[in-house]
Structure 1
Amino acid sequence: MKAVIGVVIFFLLAMTAGGGLFAMFFTSIVGGGVAESYLYPIYGGIVLLAGLIVICTVIVLDEIKQLKETLSENEKEAENSQKII
């Protein structure tokens, strides 16, 4: 729950305080004028969400790897204990 609250706070700060940075960044890349300026926060949100998806995917993959290692260690211990008996 703490991680979710942290991400929400980060996104809030990034989109409000960093909104001007996103606007300057996307204005130089995408172009456009005042009529297209309402799109820049949407672009910024998409970039932040894409980064969040990548970070979550890495975390899930690490957890899966750790789980596989733990299961293989438990199987080895079970085989060794059966050999002793």
Structure 2
Amino acid sequence: MKKLENTQYFKIQSDQELKVGDVLQLVYQAMTEKGYDPVNQIVGYIMSGDPTYITSHNGARSLIMKVERDELVEELLRVYVDKTVKE
């Protein structure tokens, strides 16, 4: 018989974990396909936290909501610095 006072841990792993950059790329693509300005819409989402700035086309809204907004800013800044400042 197992001891009931011990907590057991388990982690469910998704089949495919996307990186923040991948999420941004997919969301950007979905926004472009729907005719939106992806930069303005993503900035609106980051600033407000309101997911309605992001289209639900191709699951973009669900995807972006899985990532913390500060992680989005961090990824955008990292890529900018890597491409602009370090060159």
| Greater per-residue helix proportion | 1
The normalised TM-score by structure 2 is: 0.30
Answer with 1 or 2: which has the greater Rg: 1
The normalised TM-score by structure 1 is: 0.30
